[in-house]
Every structure is written in C-alpha cells, then in structure tokens.
Structure 1
C-alpha cells in the first residue's frame, strides 16, 4: 500500500473484509462491529505512524484480534464471578472423610466424645472444671 494513502481510503478498503472476518470469529455481527469500530479508532489515533507502515492492514487485524481476546477474557471473568466458579469439590473425598471421622468417634467413650466437641475453655466453663481436666478427657 502506498505511504500516501489516507485513513478514509484505508477504512473504505478494509472495513467490509474486517467485518466478515470478525463475524466469523465472534459469531455475532454486532460484536464484530464493536470490535472493528474499536480497532479502526485505535488505528486512526496512530495513523501518522501506521499509515507509513509496509502493511497497515496487518496492524489493523492485530489490533482487532487483541480487542477480541481482551473482550473474551473480560467476559470469561464476568461469567466466573456470576456463576461462582471455584475450586472443584471432591464429593467422594468429603464422604470418605465423614466416614473416617464417624468411625474414630465411635471408638471413643461418651465422655471423650463430649470433650471432642468443645474447646477446653468452653467445656470447662460449662462443667465447672479446669482446662487441664478437659484436656485429660480428650486423650
């Protein structure tokens, strides 16, 4: 492309093709138009340096793809926040842990089980005993 090309002629030459490409990539004509508009705006802001490049079309497409990726990442983060995606919970491990805890508690005497459910300070206060006595029940 000649270095003397104006932005207006560049825009007219590239807009339809860029919109078709972005429509295929995004699957949405509206989203493609938004991304193309943003890309052309950025190219226009830098036209003094972009216009003299060997291939300003490549710069336009790179700018458009960067905009698409940025929007995609932003949307993915919004979905994660809205859905509340967190670390995967292993339900089988949780069941196994509860089973092991129940088996361990079954081997304790009733006094030891009662001591397990309370901190020494709370248990002592309720029973009128000192903390050393409650710790002894836990053993």
Structure 2
C-alpha cells in the first residue's frame, strides 16, 4: 500500500464538493480548478499530519478560503462582464437569477463571499463556518448580515431569495 493512498481516497471522495466550493468562491470554472489544485498540493504535503491528528476536510476548506482571499489581494486586470440578458429571451427565471446572483456575489468582499458560500451553499453551521474562516461565530453572523444586505442592494430582484430570518432576528 502506497503512503499516498489515503490522500488519493480523500481526493476522490471529496473532489466534487471541494470543486463546488472553489467555483462558488471564484465564480469561474478554470480559476476554481487552479485554486483547488494549488490547495491540494499544499494539503498533500501536510497529509500525514492531517490524517493522523486533524480533520483534513475542514483544513482543506479553510485552505481554499485562505488561498482565494490571498489571490483576490493580488492586482489583476479587470475583465469586462456582460449584463444579464433581458427577461424577454429564452432563459428561464432560475437561470437569470443565477446569473444576477453570480454577478452580485462577485461584488462582495472576499470574506463576505466566503461566509455566504460556506454558510449557505455548503450549508455549514455558524460554528463550522467560523472554524473554516478562523474567526468567531459572531463575526460570521455580522459578515453574513452585511453580505446579505449588500446582495439585496446589488440585486433587489433577488430579495425574496436572500432573506434569512435567523440572521435578521440576531441583527435586531
């Protein structure tokens, strides 16, 4: 048995979920692949210690978020983006909502976007999200509240999709 078999099994079992997280963070399939690959290289180097002492999935998720935030700090050329198509086209409402939401997510700060992705798409608890981001659950709550408020401002047509009574109750 090869010493890397456990790592291969982990990657095979969790690759799709980790790729989804990377895609939701970056908003681009190619960047998500690059992000996941760079993180998995780092995880492979720490695998013996992680497999023995830690939670490799939580470590990998946190490494994805940290690497994403690090990448966002680097200056890069601004890419033009197309406006979503008008409602009269053949796109269904769900597809339009996804386009608008993706564009609005791209305008959030990296940490706000990470909180939204981990908390709502990955369906992590506040404690798990806080652990993944290395912050307190209170920070997760406030970041989620501010991010949802900003998303409602950026994409008012999605307001019904962006309501979270739990966060709104805590914020009052």
TM-score, normalised to structure 2, is: 0.40
